[in-house]
Structure 1
């Protein structure tokens, strides 16, 4: 079976779009990094290394130190699909990240975005 195109896309090519999205809405790159680190367990220097290596999305998630167990609390619609209904594990992880970025950009309080 052919892999979905997004799986082979470098995380570094998606990341600037996330940065632009949150900065346009008055949030910061630091807040974005905090959200990504919360989800994946990467530390700042590890996240930077993933960006520099041009790691693809599949490897970015498979190499993540510790996926946050609270990510299952992420609910809602992204790209017209309910994230909690996505059966393919990697696509669900990618959409969790998309949903967190959307919530951050929409001005949701950081405690709520991070499911604190």
Structure 2
């Protein structure tokens, strides 16, 4: 079985789209970074290093220092699929991130986005 194309894409190639999506709705790059750090456990410096290295999504999530245990509270539909029903772990992590960025762009408060 071949891997989905997103696994081999660099996070850095998609990251500007996350930021643009947030900024179009009056949110900030800082909030995007906070979401990514919350989800993965990367520090800001580690996140920037991963982006600079052009790390692919599969490696980015595999090397994440500490995936947030509260991420299982992320529910909803992204790309027509319920994130909580995705069976493949890496794809689920990618879609969790997509869902969090969507929530940011839709104006949700950071407390709700970060499941606090």
Q: TM-score, normalised by structure 2?
A: 0.99
Tell me the distance in 2 between the aligned counterparts of 1:94 and 1:107. 21
> Which residue of 2 is the match for residue 102 of structure 1?
102
Paired with 1:6 and 1:19, the residues of 2 have a C-alpha distance of 18
Q: Which residues in structure 2 correspond to 1:76-95 (within 5 Å)?
A: 76-95=76-95
Are 1:114 and 2:105 counterparts?
no
Write out per-residue CA displacement over residues 7-44 of structure 1, whole angstroms, 9 at most, x where no aligned residue: 00000001000000000000000001000000000000
**Mind listing any 5+ residue stretches in structure 2 that lack a counterpart?**
none
Aligned residues: 116
Q: Which residue of 1 aligns with 2:25?
A: 25
Q: TM-score, normalised by structure 1?
A: 0.99
Tell me which stretches of 4 or more aligned residues in structure 1 moved more than 4 Å. Answer: none
Task: Report the 3-state secondary structure (helix = DSSP H, G, I; strand = E; otherwise coil) of the residue aligned with 1:70.
Answer: helix
The match for 1:62 is 62
2:42 counterpart SS class: coil
What SS class does the counterpart of residue 75 from structure 1 fall into? coil
Distance 2:104 2:36 in 1: 11
Ranges in structure 1 where 5+ consecutive residues have no aligned partner: none
Distance in structure 2 (CA, Å) of the matches to 1:21 and 1:35:
14
Query: What RMSD over aligned residues (CA atoms) do the two structures have, in Å?
Result: 0.4
Paired with 2:28 and 2:57, the residues of 1 have a C-alpha distance of 22
Aligned residue number for residue 10 of structure 1: 10
In the TM superposition, 1:31-46 aligns within 5 A as 31-46=31-46
